[in-house]
């Protein structure tokens, strides 16, 4: 039998390795940023075009490379970070595998210009698909400039799996945030399609967080700091009242390297237990400094997962540190059992002086004087009889009341209070028109039960309302005939620059639904009109949820922006489980649901109602 095993060519092996290292343009950005930081750069400039598919360029003022190092850096397993196996257990640098540049050069057109401080001339080289196109000596500035063009040009299948430019750009921005937050002492500039998206000066950690996520973030931050023999914890957590329904501003850094750790995330959540709702997530920016020998960062190609030697101790320290920070800055509620609340001065009386008590003495009182009418007449009664003017004000209260009014007539105008019904979701005219058309009742403030010819229908009120609102918003955004209600005073909302960019991308769809924007620049959004079904107090919540959905890749090629926006509005504005619905609102909800095109499932592919026919009911009594 002939031999069938053979060695793969280098260019094929590089393309296979690139599948692990380079998953999308954001992977290239991450590797290039880490190399620039390892080179000691103090200023880094990132330039992106078309979501990284056309161009990814990184310019730094680091140490640069010599002519030999520049060429050797594109070979597999070529690195300056480690020399022997023991170095893997004391890593203090970012890139150490020696596969990044070789993998990138195998699937793209790479052009590099680099120069060291001691050299008079630099090196300019170009590699296309692992093949060296040319290399020459050139006058270039100190540092390194790398341009990655036409990513996956020789692997069309991989290029077809890339998402839209908006989604890929969002992943690149996320990687940029992670690296920039880990190194606040380095200045970063970020350009997208010729426009500046971020210009982050050197500063401390709080300044870096505020520059990235907006000025409104400054009031959210609570400092966290603790130093033990195992770990040094520093950073910030967001106040509980700023918890969001989406996992947004949550960052863990170990030795200035971003990581993902569900175990440590659970430690932070347990510290917030009782302070945030179960469906909300607190934000945090936590930095852990640990001995490199006690962690293993070489367990995943992207180096975002870290294995700790003693996770249980780290869990306990992190949980206690966050809980201590929340209590230290009076964020967590506390009880003082030694304080007597009866001795505290109410706030409304804090500036008032105490009134001195006064004592009045009846100097004419003689307990030994005999009463002409008998001892039963009191001194108080005598005073009331002698001064009839004092009783005139009390008698005036009964002027006009008839003495012969019966008890039933007296209570005719009395109204008794009942439970407040807060879940009216339809207009008054709709309530009047469907008042007596059908019979429904609400079960456990969650389901609406109604009858049909063959039996009964049990409807989930929240999912049903989501379906009704979803089709209404989708219809308005498609025909672009939505009615907008103008606000008397325009709303001013603050967002981060990246969030504002998301709103700019979907502005056309928002306009079609009924939003009217006066300005959409910088970090401030001014809104002068909202859709009819959106209350003014809910605008911020709706936009926050919409931005979160866009960040979570909901808006891909399979979902249009109109569809995503309609789902977000329906989910945010729909009646909740636990709200009481009036009888007319229940009937109108049933009628509107069965007028929809797809009443059986919600916009999120969950069943809306179930039917129980009469035969099933009869079987229960056999």
CA dihedral sign of residues 202, 204, 210, 216: negative
Confidence of residue 83 (pLDDT cuts 50, 70, 90): low
Which of the two residues, 3 and 137, has the higher pLDDT score? Answer: 137
Give the pLDDT band of residue 306 (cuts 50, 70, 90): confident
Q: What is the pLDDT of residue 383?
A: 47
pTM, two decimal places: 0.71
Beta-carbon contacts of 29 under 8 Å, excluding residues fewer than 6 positions away, are 46, 48, 52, 56, 58, 172, 175, 176
Binning pLDDT at 50, 70 and 90, where does residue 129 land? confident
pLDDT band per the 50, 70, 90 thresholds, residue 111: very high
**Could you tell me the pLDDT band of residue 436, with boundaries at 50, 70 and 90?**
very low
Mean pLDDT computed over every residue of the chain? 81
Superfamily of domain 430-611: MutL, C-terminal domain, regulatory subdomain (3.30.1370.100)
Phi, psi of 135 (to 5 degrees): -145, 130
pLDDT of 410 over the 80 cut: no
**Separation CA 523–CA 212 (nearest Å):** 11
Tokens matching residue 109: 């057109």
Beta strands 43-49 and 187-192: pairing type? parallel
Q: Would you say how long the chain is, in residues?
A: 622
Please answer whether residues 108 and 151 qualify as being in contact, where contact means their C-beta atoms are separated by less than 8 angstroms.
Answer: yes
Q: Cβ(92)–Cβ(292) under 8 Å?
A: yes
Class of the domain covering 205-328: alpha beta
Residue of 134, 331, 360 lying closest to 219 (CA atoms): 331
Which range, of 60-64, 65-69, 409-413, averages the lowest pLDDT? Answer: 409-413
* Residue listed under structure tokens 């290399």: 135
Q: Provide the CATH number for the domain formed by 10-200 in this structure.
A: 3.30.565.10
Instruction: Kindly state the percentage of the chain with pLDDT values over 70.
Output: 77
pLDDT tier at 148, thresholds 50, 70, 90? very high
For 191-236, the pLDDT digits (tens) are 999 888 899 999 999 999 999 988 888 888 999 999 999 899 999 9
Higher-scoring residue by pLDDT: 90, 107: 107
CATH 3.30.1370.100 residue spans of the chain: 430-611
CATH 3.30.230.10-classified regions of the chain: 205-328
Q: Which of 96-100, 345-349, 589-593 is most confident?
A: 589-593
- Residue range(s) occupied by CATH 3.30.565.10 in the chain: 10-200
Residue 593 pLDDT class (50, 70, 90 cuts): very high
Who has greater pLDDT, 449 or 357? 449
Percent of the chain with pLDDT strictly greater than 90: 32
Best mean pLDDT range from 161-175, 224-238, 533-547, 563-577? 224-238
Contact call for residues 17 and 105 (beta carbons, < 8 A):
no
Asked if the model's pLDDT at residue 55 lies above 70, the reply is: yes
Q: Which residues are CB-contacts of 515 (< 8 A; sequence separation ≥ 6)?
A: 484, 527, 529, 530, 531
pLDDT tens-digit readout, 309-340: 888 999 999 999 999 999 887 666 655 566 66
Least confident of 222-236, 384-398, 531-545, 565-579: 384-398
**Average pLDDT of the residues in 378-392:** 50
Number of DSSP helices (H) and strands (E) in the chain, helices first: 20, 22
* HEC per residue, 497-523: HHHHHHHHHCHHHHHHHCCEEEEEECC
Pick the residue with more confidence: 476 or 256?
256
Helices (H), 447-582: 461-479, 497-505, 507-513, 539-551, 561-573
- CA 519, CA 525: separation in Å to the nearest integer? 6
Under DSSP, the state recorded for 126 is: E
């Amino acid at each position: 039998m002939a031999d069938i095993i053979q060695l793969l060519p280098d260019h094929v092996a590089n393309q296979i390795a690139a599948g692990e290292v380079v998953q999308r343009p954001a992977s290239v950005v991450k590797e290039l940023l880490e190399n620039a930081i390892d080179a000691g750069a103090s200023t880094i400039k990132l330039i992106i075009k078309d979501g990284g598919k056309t161009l990814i360029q990184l310019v730094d003022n680091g140490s640069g490379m010599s002519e030999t190092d520049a060429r050797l850096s594109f070979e597999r397993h070529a690195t300056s970070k480690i020399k022997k196996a023991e170095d893997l257990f004391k890593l203090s640098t970012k890139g150490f595998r020696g596969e990044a540049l070789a993998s990138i050069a195998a699937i793209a057109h790479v052009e590099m210009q680099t120069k060291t401080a001691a050299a008079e001339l630099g090196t300019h080289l170009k590699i296309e698909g692992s093949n060296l196109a040319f290399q020459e000596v050139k006058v270039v500035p100190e540092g390194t400039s790398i341009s990655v063009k036409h990513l996956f040009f020789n692997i069309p299948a991989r290029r077809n799996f890339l998402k839209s430019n908006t989604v890929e750009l969002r992943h690149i921005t996320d990687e940029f945030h992670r690296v920039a937050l880990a190194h606040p002492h380095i200045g970063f500039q970020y350009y997208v399609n010729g426009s500046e998206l971020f210009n982050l000066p050197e500063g401390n950690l709080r300044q870096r967080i505020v520059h990235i996520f907006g000025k409104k973030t400054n009031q959210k931050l609570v400092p966290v700091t603790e130093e033990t023999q195992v770990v040094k914890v520093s950073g910030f957590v967001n106040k509980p009242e700023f918890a969001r329904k989406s996992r947004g501003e949550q960052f863990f850094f170990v030795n200035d390297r971003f990581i993902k750790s569900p175990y440590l995330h659970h430690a932070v959540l347990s510290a917030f237990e009782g302070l945030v709702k179960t469906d909300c997530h607190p934000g945090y920016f936590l930095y852990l400094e640990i001995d490199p020998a006690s962690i293993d960062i070489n367990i995943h190609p992207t180096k975002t997962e870290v294995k700790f030697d003693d996770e249980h101790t780290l869990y306990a320290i992190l949980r206690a540190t966050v809980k201590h920070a929340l209590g230290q800055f009076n964020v967590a509620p506390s009880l003082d059992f030694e304080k007597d609340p009866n001795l505290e001065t109410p706030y409304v009386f804090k500036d008032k002086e105490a009134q001195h008590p006064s004592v009045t003495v009846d100097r004419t009182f003689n307990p030994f004087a005999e009463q002409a009418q008998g001892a039963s007449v009191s001194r108080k009664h005598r005073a009331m009889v002698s001064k009839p003017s004092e009783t005139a004000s009390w008698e005036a209260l009964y002027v006009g009341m008839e003495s012969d009014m019966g008890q039933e007539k007296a209570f005719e105008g009395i109204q008794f209070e009942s439970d407040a019904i807060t879940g009216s979701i339809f207009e008054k005219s709709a309530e009047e028109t469907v008042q007596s058309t059908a019979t429904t009742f609400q079960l456990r403030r969650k389901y609406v039960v109604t009858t049909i010819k063959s039996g009964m229908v049990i409807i989930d009120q929240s999912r049903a309302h989501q379906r009704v609102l979803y089709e209404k918003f989708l219809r308005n955004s498609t025909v672009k005939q939505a009615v907008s209600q103008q606000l008397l005073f325009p709303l001013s909302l603050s967002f981060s620059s990246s969030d504002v960019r998301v709103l700019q991308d979907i502005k056309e769809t928002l306009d079609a639904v009924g939003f009217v924007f006066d300005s959409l620049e910088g970090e401030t959004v001014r809104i002068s009109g909202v859709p009819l079904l959106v209350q003014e107090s809910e605008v911020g919540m709706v936009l926050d949820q919409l931005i979160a959905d866009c960040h979570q890749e909901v808006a891909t090629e399979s979902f249009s922006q109109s569809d995503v926006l309609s789902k977000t509005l329906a989910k945010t504005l729909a009646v909740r489980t636990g709200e009481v619905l009036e009888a007319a609102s229940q009937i109108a909800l049933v009628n509107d649901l069965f007028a929809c095109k797809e009443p059986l499932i919600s916009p999120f592919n969950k069943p809306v109602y179930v039917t129980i026919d009469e035969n099933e009911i009869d079987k229960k009594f056999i």
